[in-house]
Amino acid sequence: MNIDNTTNTTTNIQLVQGQQHRRKKKCYGNRSDQRFRKRCRNQKMSEEQIEQFVNQRINARKTNPPYQAVANRQQMNTTVSNISIGHELPLNENRTTTTINIKSNKRKKDAISKEKTYNVPKSTSTLSVLQPSTKKMKKKNKKRRRRRRQQRTRKMKKIIKNKNYQPSGYLRASSQALMNTLRKHLNHPLKKRNEQKFVYSRLHLFDEEFALDLNRYLWQSYLEIGSQQQQPQIWPNEVYRAAKTNESNLCQQYIVDSLNQSKTYLDLCYAKLNTQAQSWISTLPSLDILDDNLKKFVRQQKKHSSTRINKQLKQYKDVLEEKKSFQQISLYLTPNDRILVDELINLQQLQMQLMEEFAMLEQRIICKLLPQNFDSIDNLIKPPLYTPLLQDVTSIEFKIQHYKIIQQIKRTWLNIYFNAYEKKIQEYEEQYIEKLHNLQLRFECKNNVNRIFHLNSIKTYLHNRKQRTIQQIYIDMSDYRKKLLNYRKRSSKAKKTIDVSPKPIFYLLFNPFNDQERDYLSKGPNYIRMNQSAVPSDKKRDHLIKKEYKNIIKKVKDYLYTYHHINREKPIYDIYSKCLQNCLNLRYMTSLSISDRIRVQREYKVVKSIRFKLKKYKLILRETDKSGVFCILRAIDHEQKVKEYRDKTKAYKELTSNPFEATLNKVIRLLNDLRAKPDKIRAWQQCEMVPNRKTCKLAYMYFNPKTHKDGTPLRPIMHTIDSPTTNISRLLDRFIRPIFNNNAKLTTIIDGAHLIKRLQEYANAGHLKPTTLFCTFDINNLYTMLPQQQSLDILQEFLQTYEKSHVRGIDIATIRELARVVIEENVFVYHNKYYQQIIGGAMGSPFTLTLANIFMWKWEKESICKELPSPEIYGRYIDDIFFTWNDTQENLEQLLKKLNNHHPNIKLEYKIGQSLPFLDVLLTNNNGALSTSVYRKPASEPYVVPFTSDHPHHIFRNIIRTALLRAIRYSSTFEAFNVERRNIRLMLLYNG
């Protein structure tokens, strides 16, 4: 036993000596004192006062060290003999206590943990592992702070509550969010705990008072309105449900009891308010001002409750009016007339039941919780024959394709369901109109004025009854929607099913995003977060207000001085500046409601989390090329596709240094030289084209994935808004595009409506025959495959053909020189590397589109226009071409092969048939008759701006108006219009 003790002693001594030889970490002072100094500085104390308080803390620690007090307490509690650090003495020997003076700069808990380790015998392994932690454990401290906030919230919510009163939603929010809102509303800091508790409890009582007062008003109104009726009285449906009886007298007694109970609880609430007012805290605003502000706050938060009660009372009055009018109608109805009226009411009821089921299905689509028979499609359509063995890009594309197939099947079935519901409702409507017509014939056959008046009364009664039922359906749908949302939150199965709404595309083997982040990404790139200006602090918002104020004032003064010669020192500017300041303060600094504030903060946190995960896992977030939704893929895969695109096109050359300064100087030098020469460019033209050195910067390139094509290739887009050549490109586009539009009208298609008009003229002239074929083709990579020098030569030829010598005072040679700079000096940055485009033009530059149109003008003049007969239609929309053909298909294919070899850079992809899509219209030759309808590409998602986005309301109205107007213009039959109308309705439901 002694041998073991000696070996333990030697090993411990060696370990202690080894620890002494180690290099000690630098210490920057006691962390507790550092935090204490920080709190003092936040309270704006001077450095002298802070040092006095710190010295007092140090002296207090020296007189009563925390670890010494703990050691004494442990010595009193121990029943076993004291134990030394290194070894244990024999049982028969006297036990001595070793006192160790530890001068620790660590926190109190570290000192306590050190002392505790001395009361247990330790081996060398435990001594080497269990060292006191010197770092602050962030996660543990976050959990502690969160736990403290939750405990504080529970303490503040421990108020005596009425069992018949349910607190409002804003009171169930976190106390921190509620206090932040109250600070702005009351204009008081509310830093002390007793202030917060007093304000919170008083706010709770005012909320209870408001709810009880509304309840009393509702029962009082029911009683007053119902007592004016004759026996038997009719009461609202909620009264029958609450009283659990259909007897009129019992319901009336229930209303009286509920009214008395509400008055009793209201008196108790008033007493609580008076009792609490005696404990008013003097640091708060005066009690009258505080109560007024809190009452305003409660009325603002519970505005929806007042609106709901007013709607209930209005609906109750409408029911009574219906009853009264029906009683009057029943007086002069014959038995046969009564049978017809009952049949009409029965048909209305059946129609309203179908409308209610239809509305419930719509709510299920909005809440992303389809009926159970739709969920079974996920299990029915599974790939049993083949699943990829390796988890690679092939497996990702396989899963995405499987997801899209199931999603498309569900959308098709929803379209079928909608069609069935609409047809059934229409059948009931036709039966209703037929029965009403029979009733009208019975009343009008006797040529009695009173009978005709009674007929109008019956029609009015039936119409009002139908409108009231429809309103009740939409009121019930709000409650039904809440139930669906609550069920979806709790159900894990509902979240795993494939939804019909547009979703982001994840080209990932491992998806790091949670449900909230996926839902936010599903809202798409056009979604705007609600009240983004409410997230920053008041100081940052003040800075934003000042910045925007200066910007607006400067623009207004410059505009009025330049175009209207109004002096910048006019006194009217002072009035305007005050109004502008008030308007900006109102927009930026108005406090939000609790629900809006919680939503703003939640979405802000979700956005921050998405950005963090994109950076952490090295992911790329891009908008897809056709579908308009987000696509997320790995940065490695994205760079591999970019490299493949560059190697395939060979349109870009890598540069060794930053070309920005050289390009900028070259552009400025060219403009100065042209201005110095006579009759080259004018002064105002130079001012418009010269780049601004302060805002000018190098262009950059990004790529959007084409998810509708195999392998997901990329489309390059150049961001050239502030590049050195942008101003020249804009001026050339403004000068030359009108010339092209005026002289190429016959071969240009503006939109789908323009093509339909030309085809109708073609058909009216008798050229559309049963054997007429349609042909469409598009050109691959037109922008990036334009030969630069040849394009400039064609531009010069085009201008010489139509404008002779000058364009807006600039000769054609100068225009060619300016166009050359725009095309050849297209330099940009991509991933900290510099490139220059050597083939084609930048997709994103304004003049590139005009130059591409002029290049195609030359190509079509030399190739296809010579081959087509005169009556045939030919038209082009940028790189998409359409024409008609009345010869054989073999001759047409030979012509297309010839066109494909006409120019090495122009390659075509064509389609031939009697029913073909072009742009967004589907054209069909039905045995010599033209039929048209709206065409939706299979790759395009039914995505529009979500209704929850923070866009102006007229944007949503314009979306619906534009979609319906396009359906009217493109649909040649009423059936085609109905199909597109259903698609529009479903598209709006998919986007909330």
Q: Flag whether 102 is in a domain.
A: no
pLDDT at site 419: 95
Same domain for 537 and 413:
no
Same domain for 777 and 840:
yes
CA 774 to chain centre: 41
Q: Flag whether 873 is in a domain.
A: yes
- Domain range holding 264? 207-271
Give the separation between CA 868 and CA 899, rounded to whole angstroms: 12
CA distance readout (Å), 816 to 287, 409, 792, 798:
78, 54, 6, 11
Sequence length of the chain is 992
Residue whose C-alpha is closest to residue 878's, from 862, 856, 896, 900: 856
Give the separation between CA 845 and CA 723, rounded to whole angstroms: 10
Three-state SS for 971?
coil
**Contact of 522 with 501, CB cutoff 8 Å:** yes
Q: In the chain, which stretches have pLDDT less than 70? A: 1-29, 62-164, 381-391, 446-449
pLDDT at site 346: 94
Domain end (from 271, 289, 321): 271
Same domain for 562 and 485:
no
Query: According to DSSP H, which parts of 445-593 are helical?
Result: 449-490, 492-496, 515-522, 538-564, 572-589
| Structural domain total, the chain | 4
Same domain for 460 and 572:
no
**Contact of 596 with 583, CB cutoff 8 Å:** no
pLDDT at site 92: 38
Whether this prediction's pTM lies above 0.85 is answered by no
pLDDT at site 168: 82
Same domain for 341 and 258:
no
Same domain for 663 and 584:
no
Give just the sign of the alpha carbon dihedral 108, 110, 113, 118.
negative
**Contact of 592 with 600, CB cutoff 8 Å:** yes
CA distance readout (Å), 213 to 217, 221, 257, 299:
6, 12, 15, 12
The arrangement of strands across the sheet holding 921-926 comes to 915-918, 921-926, 929-934
Same domain for 574 and 700:
no
Q: Flag whether 258 is in a domain.
A: yes
**Contact of 970 with 760, CB cutoff 8 Å:** no
HEC per residue, 338-392: HHHHHHHHHHHHHHHHHHHHHHHHHHHHHCCCCCHHHHHHHHHCCCCCCCCCCCC
Same domain for 658 and 617:
no
Same domain for 830 and 723:
yes
**Contact of 862 with 902, CB cutoff 8 Å:** yes
Express the helix, strand and coil content of the chain in percent, nearest 5 each.
60, 10, 30
**Contact of 222 with 238, CB cutoff 8 Å:** no
Residue with structure tokens 């429809």?
470
Q: What is the pLDDT of residues 135-154, one digit of tens each?
A: 445 556 666 666 666 665 55
Which residues partner with 810 through β-bridges?
Answer: 807
Residue whose C-alpha is closest to residue 148's, from 136, 158, 156, 159: 156
Same domain for 365 and 402:
yes
Query: According to DSSP H, which parts of 825-923 are helical?
Result: 846-862, 864-867, 889-900
Q: Flag whether 676 is in a domain.
A: yes
Domain end (from 271, 286, 318): 271
Q: What is the pLDDT of residues 165-185, one digit of tens each?
A: 777 888 877 788 888 888 888
Q: Flag whether 60 is in a domain.
A: no
pLDDT at site 29: 57
Give just the sign of the alpha carbon dihedral 202, 203, 207, 213.
positive
Same domain for 660 and 701:
yes
Q: Flag whether 743 is in a domain.
A: yes
pLDDT at site 850: 92
Q: Flag whether 63 is in a domain.
A: no
Same domain for 455 and 336:
yes
Residue with structure tokens 């009057």?
328
Give the separation between CA 320 and CA 940, rounded to whole angstroms: 51
Domain end (from 271, 301, 323): 271
Neighbours of 935 (CB within 10 A): 17
Q: Flag whether 854 is in a domain.
A: yes
